[in-house]
Chain A
């Protein structure tokens, strides 16, 4: 299985800050990577698919980049409603695997 490693595991930032989360794959996955947002008690929501494509209705402050084994997820200006846990997920190889998550909190 492809291992997905996110960093940091948790992050505290202020409203308006730029936030960066990284995701590293254990092998080359090209750009076959998705990002999800999960709020407490809720199901995950798709934010970005195929490394950098914003899903319908997702604010433009969210972005993704990268290829190969190293990927980055950014929030350009953190909003209070962005408090959540974020997961990357690879779809290069079955079984699909997720990162362990990055919990984002407001400072």
Chain B
């Protein structure tokens, strides 16, 4: 059973860069068949998909955040990361990493495994 775990600072200052890492265990990022996503949830609100990275390194970002987002992968550490630049209070949210099956997976294009989430507050 694959497990995902987010890590990173819980407090970021306005205008700085938010950096989070998702460590994947009991499964290899580089084995293929999965996209690795970041999703956030503003306090008391719904879910917003930020973007994904494939094990090959190809990415897609939500156009609403594209100018500020970078998602990268480190297959040697079985981790993928999120960087969100120039943050404001509007970026305060719980950030989740999640696995999405590709067309060959059991649950294609569904987020079948999630991290527990990490709360990130943007404040001076």
Contact = CB atoms under 8 A, between A and B. Distances in A.
Interface of A: 1, 32, 34, 36, 42-46, 49-50, 53, 55-56, 87, 89, 91, 94-101
A42 B110 CA distance: 18
A50 B46 contact: no
B48 interface: yes
Contacts of A89: 47, 111
A43 B116 contact: yes
9 tightest CB-CB pairs across the interface, nearest first?
Answer: A49-B110, A43-B114, A91-B109, A95-B62, A98-B47, A96-B49, A49-B107, A34-B110, A100-B46
Residue among B46, B49, B51, B64 having the largest count of chain A Cβ atoms under 10 Å = B46
A46 B107 contact: yes
A56 B14 CA distance: 42
A43 B108 CA distance: 19
B63 A101 contact: no
A6 B47 CA distance: 13
B55 interface: no
Contact of A101 (B46, B108, B111, B116): B46
Interface string B48-81: 1101000000001011100000000000000000
Contacts of A96: 49
Contacts of B64: 1, 95
Contacts of B51: 95
B108 A49 contact: yes
Contacts of B111: 34, 36, 44, 46, 89
A43 B115 CA distance: 7
A53 B110 CA distance: 11
Nearest to A32: B109
